[in-house]
């Protein structure tokens, strides 16, 4: 069997209501030379039964973990079985536009890029279309363009990329199983830190489903921070990062900015309830919450009382 153009990597866990739409969107691709590798992480619902209905198509392959192993292990198992020239990451509760694979592969080859992303179209549980974006902190480009490593780190580049498989194999890059949440961020950043050419195609072709149960509790937010810290320490330990102080500074700056954004709701709640001691404790952990709070004050009051102080958030110094 010849090598397919694209290997689509899709881990699954308890996504019975969504997985059919994901698979159907792959079947509808204008680029037909693909393989879909689904690895189920011991789902307890009917996810596997839904997938099995599609296995008559030889391009679709299913692997099942005997026990729940976590997203990192599951994604690595998919990588080990991928044979395509390009890797496309598609989450099991999302779906993609029919032209997506064809457009991104063509774009990557024309730009001689190792990793490319398009724009994510957020979709609310009721089907309403929300924001369109490709990164946490960067603006959407008006035209296709390259991004440097420093830009990608600063903007917290995200999305669901298409990646040159040979680059991943050459550098032995894998997901880190110990990072249980957002391990894809560490995976993509490692690819970039190791020298991948990165470009963005500003077309919204990936539909990102916003599901109930987002991180809202203080406990969940702090668990997310712990996972982000694991990603930070792993990326800082890479030899390429160790040789470039600017990479280290940017990674630290982005981490602290994410901590600030994670803890700001808790900080604001303490302020509203006049729990000054608790608010101060949060601000010691994430000093940037004060800057964020001041920016939320109506413009006239801000300019009158605070603008002259020239407050600059500490993480900006890394840029």
pLDDT at 21: 98
Whole-number Å distance between alpha carbons of 193 and 121:
27
pLDDT at 215: 42
Whole-number Å distance between alpha carbons of 163 and 166:
9
Question: What domains does the chain contain, in order, with CATH numbers?
Answer: 6-209 (3.90.550.10), 218-318 (no CATH)
| CA-based nearest residue to 241, from 194, 196, 187 | 194
| Residue for token pair 């999305």 | 159
User: What's the per-residue H, E or C state across the chain?
Assistant: CCCCCEEEEEEECCCCCCHHHHHHHHHCCCCCCEEEEEEECCCCCCHHHHHHCCCCCCCEEEEECCCCCCHHHHHHHHHHCCCCCEEEECCCCCEECCCHHHHHHHHHHHHCCCEEEEEEEEECCCCCEEEEECECCCCCCCCCEEECHHHHHHCCECCCCEEEHHHHHHHCCCCCCCCCCCHHHHHHHHHHHCCCCEEEEEEEEEEEECCCCCCCCHHHHHHHHHHHHHHHHHHHCCHHHHCCHHHHHHHHHHHHHHHHHHHHHHHHHHHHCCCHHHHHHHHHHCCHHHHHHHHHCCHHHHHHHCHHHCCCCHHHHHC
pLDDT at 214: 47
Q: Sort strands 162-164 and 115-123 into parallel, antiparallel or unpaired.
A: antiparallel
* Digitized pLDDT (tens) for each residue of the chain, 319 residues in all: 579 999 999 999 999 999 999 999 999 999 999 999 999 999 999 999 999 999 999 999 999 999 999 999 999 999 999 999 999 999 999 999 999 999 999 999 999 999 999 999 999 988 999 999 988 888 899 999 999 999 999 998 888 999 999 999 999 999 999 998 778 999 999 999 999 999 999 999 999 999 875 444 455 777 888 888 999 999 999 999 999 999 999 999 999 888 888 888 888 888 888 898 888 888 888 878 877 777 777 654 545 545 444 444 444 444 5
pLDDT at 218: 53
pLDDT at 298: 61
pLDDT at 90: 98
pLDDT at 282: 81
pLDDT at 216: 43
Whole-number Å distance between alpha carbons of 70 and 227:
13
Whole-number Å distance between alpha carbons of 137 and 50:
37
């Amino acid at each position: 069997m010849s090598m397919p153009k694209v290997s689509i990597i899709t881990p699954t866990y308890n996504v019975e209501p969504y997985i059919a739409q994901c698979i159907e969107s792959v079947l509808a691709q204008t680029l037909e030379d693909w393989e879909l590798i689904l690895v189920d992480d011991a789902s307890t619902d009917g996810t596997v039964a839904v997938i099995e209905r599609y296995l008559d198509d030889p391009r679709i392959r299913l692997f099942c973990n005997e026990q729940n192993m976590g997203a990192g292990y599951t994604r690595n198992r998919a990588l080990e079985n991928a044979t395509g020239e390009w890797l496309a990451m598609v989450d099991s509760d999302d779906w993609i536009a029919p032209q997506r694979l064809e457009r991104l592969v063509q774009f990557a080859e024309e730009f001689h890029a190792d990793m490319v992303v398009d724009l994510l179209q957020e979709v609310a549980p009721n089907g309403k279309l929300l924001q369109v974006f490709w990164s946490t902190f960067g603006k959407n480009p008006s035209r296709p363009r390259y991004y440097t490593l420093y830009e990608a780190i600063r903007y917290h580049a995200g999305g669901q990329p298409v990646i040159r498989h040979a680059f991943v194999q050459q550098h032995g890059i894998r997901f880190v199983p110990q990072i249980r949440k957002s391990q894809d961020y560490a995976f993509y950043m490692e690819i970039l830190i190791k020298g991948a050419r990165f470009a963005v195609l500003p077309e919204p072709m990936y539909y990102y489903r916003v599901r109930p149960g987002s991180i809202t509790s203080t406990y969940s937010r702090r668990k997310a921070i712990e996972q982000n810290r694991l990603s930070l320490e792993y990326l800082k330990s890479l030899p390429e990062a160790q040789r470039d102080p600017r990479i280290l500074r940017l990674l630290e700056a982005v981490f602290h900015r994410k901590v600030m954004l994670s803890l700001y709701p808790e900080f604001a709640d303490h302020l509203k309830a006049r729990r000054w001691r608790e608010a101060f404790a949060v601000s010691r952990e994430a000093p940037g919450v004060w800057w964020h709070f001041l920016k939320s004050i109506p413009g006239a009051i801000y300019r009158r009382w605070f603008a002259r102080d020239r407050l600059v958030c500490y993480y900006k110094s890394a840029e």
